[in-house]
Structure 1
């Protein structure tokens, strides 16, 4: 009988220290130290975008200021504001793809992956402004067997940006969950306040291998597409993102992708220096409540997929589906 995705996760460790130590020995440069010279410039940034004209220009300006300029693919998920116009006119954008109808971020990322040419795909949210060293640091460390995760520092709409983003603003680094309330993911209830440090307390995620948890966190849930680098071949081999998440609502498509990549044998490795500013929309509170309203549906879908067999031999179908969707899109440049 074919093993479930959940069962396969129990078999995969996440001791990435051989990878990070080898990098440091070969380069004389700390894994988390910014400024390493990239040995591979074959990087594509894929940005799914829906009604983000309040922040997209700043995101693209930050990409234009990178010490290593990547290929940039923006996939407009049928926006009704000025998103497409901003992307079309910005010189850093190599390709703008406009979906014929709103299909969700999962489909947008799949289409962008099919259109991209890089061997490393960096998924960047359309509201993430990254410092100039981030893409070069990713390129210097990207390998065929690792998923590299970055972090985000939320900034209220209209607020002035601090001199540099702070990794401790990310809830995967500093986490203070509610008391006497079921936690969103695991549903466990804490009876006293917790000053959690998920990244530190798991030794940079090493201790989250083999299906282990840290309170509400497990290894797949650490995989967040706000800033994430994935080997393109591995991404295609596991079938990319499940588009059903986009139809159901918000969340979990990146967690599911992480689960598939981990089950396929990839390591999940944090880059502590890869931190971007996440620019909140003008209606941040209402937008967050709308997302949370759909969370139970996407979580149930994820749970069902965990009990299903790991997708196998799906690269050809992923490529065919993505290119078929791409053929129906408006493509600029």
Structure 2
């Protein structure tokens, strides 16, 4: 009888304080402190950006990547999932991008991320959404702290679409706010089943998932904070993972992309946790997450597919934890890349 992924998660701790304290002792930097460029010297990061019809945001996103202050070896791989707008042309012209891939047909963000991760040369893969604008220290934050058994997660501050008078997008004054992320400040509905756990709250809750779980440590061993568990904290809007561990668990399950939106990053988080990775937040790594012009319509479309992707995730939880999938991962990713246009600089 096999041990399921769900059961394996119940055996995995997330006690990462020893790791963050060791970092501070070695470097003199606080774990949540923005990182000087010099502290990232000697490290390497591959940034992978899946993109689908994101021309409205991409110039702003890539400009922010080009303005990163670090001393690490960094490559930026953008994988265009058969966009019908100017996404690929923008990436091809922008100096921040080192490799552009254009998939010949739409295959979903999971496949796009897998293809990009397959091309990655660095031991750390930093997944960044094509609508995430990062402060200048984030690459250094990740590069200086990454390890072969850690998943480092940043946060997002959603920003409504607003075009600037002179072109581009208008961003809020000041830095992105950590509290804007639902994993930090969360107000769930009352008398309505929560979408993930299915529990119903009888009274209002001023939810503080990040603080209440001691930076996710209390979510070890498969535990919950109401509707949140540890895999749900792995959000690929801004997420750094060890490349070898990613391949070992088979990368992202691409069936999620065929079904719709959501849960592919949760499943990857579960697989990496089962493989022994810690999930550690970087409170200083917060980006502006830019809404598209038709945000309301897109959101409704995404939510309509949530039941199917959640059902897929529940099914995968009942199966053994993925392991030893490196060859299968490479084969599947190479298949995507064979028919694609790949431009490396």
TM-score class normalised by the smaller sequence: over 0.9
Q: Distance in 1 between matches of 2:324 and 2:53?
A: 35
Deviations 1:244-271 (A, max 9, x none): 0000000000000000000000000000
Q: Distance in 2 between matches of 1:41 and 1:260?
A: 25
Query: For residue 53 of structure 1, what is the aligned residue in structure 2?
Result: 55
Please report how far the alpha carbon of residue 313 of structure 1 lies from its aligned counterpart in structure 2 after TM superposition: 1.9
Correspondence 1:125-164 to 2 at 5 A: 125-158=129-162, 159-164=170-175
With over 3 angstroms needed to count, the CA separation of the structure-2 counterparts of 1:40 and 1:253, relative to structure 1, is: farther
Deviations 1:109-160 (A, max 9, x none): 0000011111100000000000000000100000111000000000000153
Query: For residue 99 of structure 1, what is the aligned residue in structure 2?
Result: 103
Query: For residue 64 of structure 2, what is the aligned residue in structure 1?
Result: 62
* Aligned with 1:308 (options 316, 319, 332): 319
Query: For residue 329 of structure 1, what is the aligned residue in structure 2?
Result: 340
Q: Is the 8 A contact 2:111 2:257 kept in 1?
A: yes
Q: Is the 8 A contact 2:275 2:323 kept in 1?
A: no
Q: Distance in 1 between matches of 2:291 and 2:324?
A: 39
Q: Distance in 2 between matches of 1:15 and 1:44?
A: 27
CA RMSD of aligned residues (A): 0.9
Q: Is the 8 A contact 2:236 2:265 kept in 1?
A: yes
Tell me the secondary structure at the aligned position of residue 106 of structure 1. helix
Moved over 3 A (4+): none
* Aligned with 2:220 (options 198, 209, 218): 209
* Aligned with 1:280 (options 291, 294, 309): 291
Q: How many residues align?
A: 333
Using the size of structure 1 for normalisation, the TM-score is 0.98
Deviations 1:267-323 (A, max 9, x none): 000000000000000011111010000000000000000001112321011111111
Please report how far the alpha carbon of residue 163 of structure 1 lies from its aligned counterpart in structure 2 after TM superposition: 1.2
Query: For residue 228 of structure 1, what is the aligned residue in structure 2?
Result: 239
Q: Distance in 2 between matches of 1:268 and 1:190?
A: 27
Q: For structure 1, which runs of at least 5 residues remain unmatched after alignment?
A: none
Query: For residue 12 of structure 1, what is the aligned residue in structure 2?
Result: 12
Using the size of structure 2 for normalisation, the TM-score is 0.95
* Aligned with 2:124 (options 103, 107, 120): 120
Q: Distance in 1 between matches of 2:264 and 2:325?
A: 17
Deviations 1:52-92 (A, max 9, x none): 00001111000000012720000000000011110011011
Please report how far the alpha carbon of residue 162 of structure 1 lies from its aligned counterpart in structure 2 after TM superposition: 2.3
Q: Distance in 2 between matches of 1:305 and 1:191?
A: 31
Q: Distance in 2 between matches of 1:326 and 1:120?
A: 20
Please report how far the alpha carbon of residue 332 of structure 1 lies from its aligned counterpart in structure 2 after TM superposition: 1.6
Q: Is the 8 A contact 2:77 2:98 kept in 1?
A: yes
Q: For structure 2, which runs of at least 5 residues remain unmatched after alignment?
A: 163-169
Q: Distance in 1 between matches of 2:251 and 2:173?
A: 35
Tell me the secondary structure at the aligned position of residue 210 of structure 1. helix
Query: For residue 188 of structure 1, what is the aligned residue in structure 2?
Result: 199
Deviations 1:211-237 (A, max 9, x none): 000000000000000000001011001
Query: For residue 264 of structure 1, what is the aligned residue in structure 2?
Result: 275
Please report how far the alpha carbon of residue 39 of structure 1 lies from its aligned counterpart in structure 2 after TM superposition: 4.3
Tell me the secondary structure at the aligned position of residue 47 of structure 1. strand
Deviations 1:184-240 (A, max 9, x none): 111111111110000000000000000000000000000000000001011001100
